[in-house]
Amino acid sequence: MNRHAPYALAITLFGADAALAQATPAQEQLAPTVVAAGPCARPRSAPRAPIELSLGAAGVPSLADFGSTPSACGYSGFSVGGRMGLLIATSAFYGAIDAEAALSGTVRIDEDSWVTLAIDAVRYRTVINASVVTAPIDLGATTLTVHHALATDADAQVTLFLRALLPTELGNRFVARIGLEPGFSFVFSPHRRWSLHGGVSLPVTAAISAAGTSFTFTPRATFDAAWLPVDPFEALLGVEARVGFDGFEFLAPRLALRAHLTKTAYIDLAAMLPLLGVERSLARASLNFGMRW
């Protein structure tokens, strides 16, 4: 046996280890990065979101998205849609039909924060035997909402939000309405096809007029379950409840059918029906198209 063989083998092994060490950084750069999807992302549809329809706050459903539960998931995107509500109180000979064309845009600031601007661009309201003078077609309310994700893990996320109601309504000729709504929302997604959504908010509004200022405080909560039985269709079933100065105002089941047209675009149809409480609205429905990414 060659007496230099052990030394040659050692030198060869040392050189191989050095070459491997030098190649490791480049290999690490070329290796794919695995990112946890979290509770919000889905491979073939837009980020998860609750039912977008609400009865609102302060007994006024047409205040942009004031008095509603936003998605706990951060995104950038927009939505356009129409909403309609029906109110009939036969004992008081009072009735109203509301319809709004709503616009909403969201911009993500960073991984945990995003901002939403919503407006009822066109609002129609017809009233029988009303004491408030309103124009039949006018500009509705505007809201600005700041969201911040507070806690996130693989299956759940909790988000705080603060929404401001801006006095852009033109139909209330003698009243300016402003408001503030702090709250939180959450999403829990144990499976790609199932998710739970909910939230609590504390809307406060002030109606300012020459006669003085009146306030409303209407704490509210929502809970929705979403099921994606087969791509691209999603079904959501939930409930909304609200209390106020007069006590328990309503408990309203609600449902929505959502079709995910692409990975970012969707269209949904929603409806809700107040069953209990002092709320006089009979029903409310909406049709929305949006994109989220």
pLDDT at 149 > cutoff 80: yes
Cis previous bond, 232, omega within 30: yes
Give me the residues paired with residue 74 across strands.
Answer: none
Q: What is the pLDDT of residue 132?
A: 55
> For 52-89, what is each residue's pLDDT tens digit?
999 988 666 678 999 999 999 999 999 999 999 888 76
- Mean pLDDT (the chain) is 85
What is the spatial distance between Cα 102 and Cα 92, in angstroms, rounded to a whole number?
A: 30
Q: What is the pLDDT of residue 61?
A: 66
Higher local confidence (pLDDT), 174 or 253: 253
Q: Would you place residue 160 in the very low, low, confident or very high pLDDT band (cuts 50, 70, 90)?
A: very high
pLDDT at 17 > cutoff 50: no
Q: What is the pLDDT of residue 136?
A: 74
The answer to whether 55 and 238 are in contact (CB under 8 A) is no
Nearest to residue 67, comparing CAs of 219, 197, 206? 219
Nearest to residue 224, comparing CAs of 235, 214, 233, 213? 235
Structure tokens at 75: 């995104």
Higher local confidence (pLDDT), 173 or 219: 219
Strand 220-230, strand 212-217: pairing: unpaired
The answer to whether 49 and 39 are in contact (CB under 8 A) is no
Q: Would you place residue 90 in the very low, low, confident or very high pLDDT band (cuts 50, 70, 90)?
A: low
The answer to whether 281 and 268 are in contact (CB under 8 A) is no
Least confident segment among 79-88, 137-146, 165-174: 165-174
DSSP 129: S
DSSP 40: T
Residue ranges per domain, the chain? 77-292
pLDDT at 286 > cutoff 50: yes
Q: What is the pLDDT of residue 127?
A: 75
> Amino acid identity of 225?
A
> For 211-241, what is each residue's pLDDT tens digit?
999 999 999 999 999 999 998 999 999 999 9
Q: What's the sign of the alpha-carbon dihedral 98, 103, 109, 112?
A: positive
Q: Find the farthest-apart pair of alpha carbons in the chain and give their distance in angstroms, rounded.
A: 113
Higher local confidence (pLDDT), 126 or 286: 286
Q: Where are the alpha helices (DSSP H) in the chain?
A: 5-30
What number is the average pLDDT over the span 233-259? 95
CATH architecture for the domain at 77-292: Beta Barrel (2.40)
pLDDT at 181 > cutoff 50: yes
For residue 199, report the phi and psi dihedrals to the nearest 5 degrees.
180, 165
Nearest to residue 279, comparing CAs of 247, 254, 249, 240? 249
Percent of the chain clearing pLDDT 90 (strictly above) = 61
